[in-house]
Amino acid sequence: MPRTPTPDEPEVDLDDLPDTHPPQPVYYAEQALLGALLLEPHRLNNVDGIEPDSFSNYAHGALFAAIRALPAPDPNQHAKDTTWLNAVLTAAREHARGLTASYLHTLIQVCPWPRHAPAYARMIETEHARRTLRAHAERLAHTATDGTLPHPVPTTLSEADALARAVDDIAARFPSHSGSLPRTPAPPSATISDNDEEAVEEERLLLATATAHPADVEQMRWLTADDFAHPLHAGLWQCLTALARRRAPVDPVTVLWEAQQRGLLASGAEPAELLDLLGAPAGSAEYWGERILQRSVLATARHVGLRIEAFTDDPATTPYQLILGSRRALAELSAARARWHHATSPAPTTTPTRAAAPPRAGPPRTTAPPARISR
C-alpha cells in the first residue's frame, strides 16, 4: 500500500493526480464499492471478507475504515443532507489527507449499482489475496538467494512455511471447485549454473571422495543426480550409485567403464580427465554431499517463489488456480526438504535391549496325554 502522508505535506486532490499508471480493474471495483457504501451505507451489512488493508489504494482503505467505524445514518436523513458524508470525510482525512469532498461525490457517481456491493467486495478480496501471495513468494525467492544468512536452508524453509500458511488461508476463503492448473508459463528452472566454480569444485570433490569410500554412497540416498550443477557430474554420481547398489567393485577405472556404458563419454569427456577427477579425494563425502544438497534446496525454493510470482502476475489466474498451482509448486520443495532433513538429522541412537526376565516358577507342564480314568 502507498505510504502514509506526513502531516506537513500539502493536500492533494485525488482528482488532480497525474495518471502515470493506468488503473487496474480492481481500482474501479474499489471505487464502485465505496460509492455504494457512501450512497447506501446499510449495504455494509452485506460486505464481508475484506479489511482496510485489502484495498490496493491507501486512500480507499482509509475511506472504508471510516465508513465501517461510524454508525450508519438514518436512511431518510442521509437522503436529505451530507452530514454523515462529512463525518466520513473528516475521519478518513486523518489518515489520507488527499481526500476531498469532490472525490467522495465522484465515487458515488461512478458506482453502477449499489446492490452489487458484495460482488465488488469479492473482487477486492480476490486481488488482495493475489497481492498477499505474491509478497510471500517474493520473500521466499529473495531469502533463497541471500548469501548473508548464517543458516540459509532453515530460514528459507521458514519462509516457505509462511507461504504455505498464506495459501491455506486463501483456500479457506475461496471454496474449492473443479478447475485446472494455471496456464501461466513457468519461469526457467532455477538450476545452479555450471559456471559456479565453487559448486563445480565441490561436486568434483564429492565424486572423488565417494569413489575412494564407496561404502558412504549407500548412506547418501538423500542425494540425487538432479542436485548437481554439472550434467557430467550428475551422470557420474548415477554411475557411482549404480555400482554401489550392485555391490560391484568401485574405483576410478570401474566408474569410468560404467560411464562409458551409459554414454557419458559421448559428450566429449576425455577418459584421462575423468580418471584425474575421480582420483583426488579430500575430506568427507557426506560433507560435500550436504553442500551440494543445500544448493539444490535453495535453488528449488527460489524456483518455487518465482513460479508462484508468475501465477500472481497473470490476471487471468483465478483464486482456485492460484491455490492449486501454489500447492503443486510447494510440493516440489517439500520433497527437497524431506531429503535435507534426512541428510542433516542426527542418526538415531539405539537403546540397548534389556535382557528378557526369566520365566516365573509355576506348576510343571507335561506333554503327556492325560491318564485314562478306569470305570
Q: Could you give the CA distance from residue 284 to residue 204 in angstroms, rounded to a whole number?
A: 12
pLDDT at 181: 67
Residue reference for cell 565417494: 210
- pLDDT per residue, tens digit, the chain (375 aa), is 444 445 444 444 555 454 557 889 999 999 999 999 999 999 999 999 999 999 999 999 999 999 999 999 999 999 889 999 999 999 999 999 999 999 999 999 999 999 999 999 999 999 999 999 999 999 999 999 999 999 999 999 999 999 999 999 999 998 776 666 676 766 766 455 545 888 999 999 999 999 999 999 989 999 999 999 999 999 999 999 999 999 999 999 999 999 999 999 888 889 999 999 999 999 999 999 999 999 999 999 999 999 999 999 999 899 999 999 999 999 999 999 999 999 998 766 555 444 444 444 444 443 444 444 333
Residue 182, by phi and psi: left (phi above 0), alpha (psi -120 to 50) or beta? beta
Angle between helices 252-261 and 271-278 (to 10 degrees): 140
Residue reference for cell 465501517: 68
pLDDT at 364: 43
Of how many residues is the chain composed?
A: 375
- Phi, psi of 164, rounded to the nearest 5 degrees: -65, -40
Pull the grid cell for residue 276. 584425474
At a CB cut-off of 8 Å and minimum separation 6, what does 195 contact? none
- Nearest Cα neighbor of 153 from 325, 49, 320, 292 is 292
Report yes or no: 101 and 76 within 8 Å, Cβ to Cβ: no
CA distances from 148 to 151, 155, 156, 291 (A): 9, 11, 12, 16
pLDDT at 347: 63
Confirm whether pTM is higher than 0.85: no
Q: Could you give the CA distance from residue 367 to residue 224 in angstroms, rounded to a whole number?
A: 59
For 223, the 3-state DSSP assignment is coil
